Structure 1
Amino acid sequence: MAAKKNANKTSVKKQSVATPADKHLHELHGIYLPKAQHKEIRRFKRLYDEPSLHGTKVWRSSAVLMDYLLENPIRKKARVMEIGCGWGGLSCFMASHFDSRVTALDADAALEPYVEFVKSLNGIKRVEFVTKRFEKIGKKDLAGVHTLIGSEICFWDEMTKPLFNLIKRARDAGVKNILIADPGRTPFLNLVDRCEAAFDGEMLGHTIKKPWKTEKFILRVTGK
């Protein structure tokens, strides 16, 4: 989707690394994420088309998945792909905590300036934004990826099949670790059922107390 202005260039003001004093920021495990009221987010909404696929805020499932990964870390410097990355907070977390090289992938091109801003807030460089739909992610894209992650990406019934097929392609391509977090919507539960039957996948509950007290669910599928 084209930007309203500056269509050929993403406009992100140079930003020093954030501090907790900014009341318009969330802090999640050392990663700063803007609230909707942040002046730069408001500026983007004036400059660009609104993200159209719910990539409009920080989702609590991302915070739950971050906490889970701190308790169950992946190896350092592993290559990571985040699907349905939204503003890219989870991607920045992986780059910061695990020194991962991350592909932050979303079907909505309008999210690029948001991802670049979150990178700048945190001084992160090892995250690359790519626009691509689930069904277009091929084995070539997945080659060399160790961990595939996503948060609140299975919210419509028609997403279950493409995500199941993507998980199958990821395992065939050698991805070792697949983690998808969700509040427990019906399309996600259907995805869990299919992955449990086909790949011995499992659904885990995980609770956090900060910055919100909440419990979400994580689909975990391991590689071949």
Structure 2
Amino acid sequence: MAAKKARNTASKSDEKHLHLLHGVYLPKAQHKEIRRFKRLYEEPSLHGTKVWRSSAVLMDYLLENPIRKRAKVLEVGCGWGGLSCFMAKQFDARVTAVDADGALAPYVEFVKSLNSVKKVEFVTKRFEKITKKDLQGVHTLIGSEICFWDEMTKPLFNLIKRARNAGVKNILIADPGRTPFLNLVDLCDEKFDAEMLGHTIKKPWKTEKYILKVSG
């Protein structure tokens, strides 16, 4: 336990290589632990190695439009798990952090340790492999910049359909407005109670992104 605390303290001491977003510490690529992981482990793929600005926008939106406390949350395309840790810290949520890239596991565990978060579980799965059973009891499904290729639109739409059928009440996906995402918005608007919202933040970056909101 003492060794773990010492490592956590040492990791936070590299403050110049940390973002602080809404109370959540997120490492930059230059952080010494991230550099160490890159030497020790397989390099993550699928763009899961960045702090996306859309995540910061979605965090800000959720602070203004909070979910209920201690809800069950599923994040798809979790990357390093920053958004999942935010949900656990801010809302005391029980979070399943899902990504297709299993090489992200040590990174998620590191971000959890940086933030003293325990209620986040990492699972390796593709969108199309997330079943109705996996979605049972989930209150909110979230994702950030997860629809950047054309071939992602249909699997994500089908996932949203399964989520609604499983009783998920709240689906929120943030994006800068790429064409595959806009196509997903159109599909959801035709079939579900869905809308696209613009949301702007000024800190730590001045940026506007879009949020697909689908209500169950």
TM superposition score normalised by structure 1? 0.92
Question: How far apart are residue 173 of structure 1 and its match?
Answer: 0.2
How far apart in 1 are the matches of 2:12 and 2:199? 28
Question: 8 Å contact 1:92–1:122 — kept in the other structure?
Answer: yes
Picking from 125, 132, 137, the partner of 1:144 is 137
> RMSD of aligned C-alpha atoms?
1.4
Question: Helix, strand or coil: the match of 1:201?
Answer: strand
The structure 1 segments of at least 4 consecutive aligned residues displaced by more than 2 Å after TM superposition are: 16-21
Question: 8 Å contact 1:85–1:105 — kept in the other structure?
Answer: yes
How far apart in 2 are the matches of 1:69 and 1:14? 31
Q: What is the one-letter code of the residue matched to 1:30? A: G
Decide whether aligned partners of structure 1 residues 111 and 140 sit closer, same or farther in structure 2, where only a CA change above 3 A counts.
same
Aligned residues: 211
TM superposition score normalised by structure 2? 0.95
Question: How far apart are residue 20 of structure 1 and its match?
Answer: 8.5
Decide whether aligned partners of structure 1 residues 16 and 85 sit closer, same or farther in structure 2, where only a CA change above 3 A counts.
same
Question: Helix, strand or coil: the match of 2:16?
Answer: coil
Alignment correspondent of 1:160: 153
What per-residue deviation string (whole Å, max 9, x for no partner) do you get for residues 3-54 of structure 1?
xxxxxxxxxx941397597110000000000001000000111111111110
Question: 8 Å contact 1:20–1:27 — kept in the other structure?
Answer: no
Alignment correspondent of 1:171: 164
Decide whether aligned partners of structure 1 residues 141 and 167 sit closer, same or farther in structure 2, where only a CA change above 3 A counts.
same
- Where structure 2 has 5 or more consecutive residues not aligned to the other structure, the ranges are 1-5
What per-residue deviation string (whole Å, max 9, x for no partner) do you get for residues 155-197 of structure 1?
0000000000000000000000000000000000000000001
Correspondences of 1:55-70 after superposition (within 5 Å): 55-70=48-63
Question: Helix, strand or coil: the match of 1:114?
Answer: helix
Q: What is the one-letter code of the residue matched to 1:77? A: R
Decide whether aligned partners of structure 1 residues 203 and 17 sit closer, same or farther in structure 2, where only a CA change above 3 A counts.
farther
How far apart in 1 are the matches of 2:104 and 2:14? 26
Alignment correspondent of 2:113: 120
Decide whether aligned partners of structure 1 residues 211 and 74 sit closer, same or farther in structure 2, where only a CA change above 3 A counts.
same
How far apart in 2 are the matches of 1:177 and 1:118? 25
Query: Quick one: percent identity of the two aligned structures?
Result: 82
Question: Helix, strand or coil: the match of 2:9?
Answer: coil
Correspondences of 1:17-96 after superposition (within 5 Å): 22-96=15-89
What per-residue deviation string (whole Å, max 9, x for no partner) do you get for residues 108-148 of structure 1?
00000000000000000000000000000001000000000
Question: Helix, strand or coil: the match of 2:198?
Answer: strand
